[in-house]
Amino acid sequence: GQSLPSFTWGSSTYRDLLCVGHSEGAVLIRRIVLDRLNELKRGARQSAENATEEKTAEQLFQELSERDMALGSHLRFFAPACLGTNFSSWLGFLVSISGIFSALAASSLVRNELLPESPILKQIQTETEKAHDSFPHLRAFSAKILFGDSDQVVYTGGYNCDEIMYETNCDHFRICKPTSVYLRPLEFVSL
């Protein structure tokens, strides 16, 4: 069988990487995964050009990608902003100028990059779906997503490669905060 990739940190060895993100953090994780894909493709092309072996860039990429922790990672997202934010709604507006989103509201550039029609979000979606279709064995191009059924901050939904679940009676902020009586976030991450 194929050996799983592993990562050693200190005295511990890890065989799986779990990337968890909420809201804008999920967008960043998706971009990082795509950047890693492109980095491995470039490395495979360069290795193929310089190699004395008869391996193609595609064969080298296949070998590299199957051992890569980032591309083999599991993705769990809480109320991701991957389809954009809904700052035009009254609740979105109020939320955008309070608490955790005050920095985001202060930057129109970041806010514009998270609008549903943003070319940045469209590019991430297109590249992720294409990568999933091309490399279905690489886990990092498919996410398990949990939304609250009353989220009015982000547009709920995912890419055609995602598994989406909805939690009843939860809004954007409640969806990722476990308590002693609300353990769903912890259960979701361990799925």
67 band by pLDDT with thresholds 50, 70 and 90? confident
76-106 pLDDT, tens digit per residue, is 999 999 999 986 554 444 554 455 555 555 4
Triad 30, 92, 149: Cα angle to 5°: 70
- Confidence at residue 91, expressed as pLDDT on a 0 to 100 scale: 47
Other C-beta atoms closer than 10 Å to the C-beta of 86 total: 22
> Measured between alpha carbons, how far is 8 from 42 in angstroms, rounded to an integer?
25
Choice among 25-39, 46-60, 119-133 with the minimum mean pLDDT: 46-60
140-188 pLDDT, tens digit per residue, is 999 999 999 999 899 999 999 999 999 999 999 899 888 899 999 989 9
Calculate the average pLDDT of the chain.
84
pTM score: 0.82
Q: How many residues comprise the chain?
A: 191
pLDDT(51) > 90: no
108 band by pLDDT with thresholds 50, 70 and 90? low
3-class SS of residue 14: strand
Check: CB of residue 155 under 8 Å from CB of residue 83.
Answer: yes
> Measured between alpha carbons, how far is 129 from 145 in angstroms, rounded to an integer?
15
